[in-house]
Amino acid sequence: MQVLVYGAGQLAQMMYLEGCPMGIEVLAVDVKNEQVVHPVTKQTVDITLEQAIENAVALTVEFEHVPEHLLEQASRSGKLLPSIDTVLAGADRVREKRLLTKLGVANCPHQVVTNIHQLDDCVEDLGERLILKASRDGYDGYGQWRLTAHSGLAALKSTLQGLDLATVPLVVEQMVDFDREISIIGVRDKLGNTRVYPLAENLHHKGQLHVSVAPALNITDSQQKQAESIFATLAEGMDYVGVLAIELFQCGEQLLVNEIAPRVHNSGHWTLSGSDVSQFNNHLRAVTGLPLGQSNALNVNAMVNVIGCSSFSSDLLSIPGCHLYWYGKTAREKRKMGHINLTAENYTELGDKLLSLSEYVPLEHFPKLVEEAKRLKSLSVA
Ligand code: ATP
Ligand code: MG
């Protein structure tokens, strides 16, 4: 059984590795040159894209920014899961906000800007602390600008002067003073059955995810219910099939949706070592029509991204419950090179393990590590 994934990065690689034991062969499409490649070696497979589409039982995506003509071709085969509309909603913040509004899902106060002069209205309506996001092709904090005080408005306008906002509008959001960032990842199959993973708490640095802890600590019943209901509303509302990730801001008891990702997600990488059936495995099950697997956490987990560096002591593998996942890329600033999962019996032990990890890695590339270790130890004692 073959599954074709659009995008040939680490997410396709992890799907490939999780597909092997189930007899599912995952092939990837390098969307830049439209070649079919092996998801691990990245070597070109001697087969046309049309042939690979024909051979596959399902087509899916590892990222939402797949060129539209490829998505349309995939959709015409009748095998693309999740659907083209869902992928496009994840790729375009204007569509995404429309979807959230249509389904009545709480999100950040925002406005769509197609002309730079509309920024004055934004400041009037939303206040002077704003985050501006290009509606397309942004990720990991790229394509974003911030306004922190009214006095910065003129400078911001001149920075944005060259952008064609009529073609790629900006979504301007109020800067939300959230208590923390969490995410819910769940999976829905073709029959409408769903499973959700425990919420993850996510620590960002400069717009990029650095550390996730799952299950997130101190989630109240009401927050858990809200998150599950947001997942159900979106997954059912889109007739979604596959893994869906939803990034949330927790503001007191209220959860606001930051963004949705119609795919497996970085904040779900802990599931590779921390749950019975990982997000990658469950995604393949959903799109191929296999029964979904259990999504509970087996223990407590931390996922630490290795970003922009490839030199650290491999002795970190001596930490019990430590698992390294390496993506095989050349190091570049801000590039996700791999991740490290740590599993523990409780949060104090998890904090200790993060501290041990900090001794094996160059800390300038892991700005959240020690802080998070100390926080986990103090929270779990409290
Ligand atoms: P990703 O890599 O998750 O796709 P992204 O570049 O698409 O990131 P967002 O998730 O929208 O962008 O924003 C990145 C980070 O910026 C968020 O995780 C959050 O820390 C911060 N942020 C975004 N929107 C807001 C907001 N309205 N108020 C406060 N902080 C925000
Ligand atoms: Mg995000």
Instruction: Return the domain boundaries, the chain.
Output: 2-80, 109-174, 180-381
| Residue ranges in the chain modelled with pLDDT below 50 | none
pLDDT at 137: 82
Nearest to 25 by CA among 7, 44, 5: 5
Cβ neighbour number for residue 270 with a 10 Å cutoff: 31
From the options 3.40.718.10, 1.20.1250.20, 3.40.50.20, 1.20.1630.10, give the CATH code of 2-80. 3.40.50.20
Query: DSSP secondary-structure letter at 317?
Result: G
CATH topology of domain 109-174: Dna Ligase; domain 1 (3.30.1490)
pLDDT score of 172 = 98
Ligand 2 is an ion; its neighbours by CB within 5 Å are 247, 259
Q: CA–CA separation, 330 vs 309, rounded Å?
A: 9
Residue nearest to atom 8 of ligand 1 (CA): 140
Name the one residue in this structure whose structure tokens are 């300038």. Answer: 364
Asked, colleague to colleague, whether 2-80 and 109-174 share their fold, the answer is no
Residue 299 is classified by DSSP as S
pLDDT for 313 equals 95
Cβ–ligand 1 contact at 96 (below 6 Å): no
What is the chain's Cα-based Rg?
21
Burial class (CB within 10 angstroms; exposed 0-12, middle 13-18, buried 19+) of 77: middle
* Closest to 336 (Cα-Cα) out of 310, 372, 306: 306
CA of 261, closest atom in ligand 1: 4
CA angle (260, 322, 245) in 5-degree steps: 10
For residue 141, the CA-to-ligand 2 centroid distance in Å is: 7
Domain 180-381: give its CATH code.
3.30.470.20
pLDDT at 381: 57
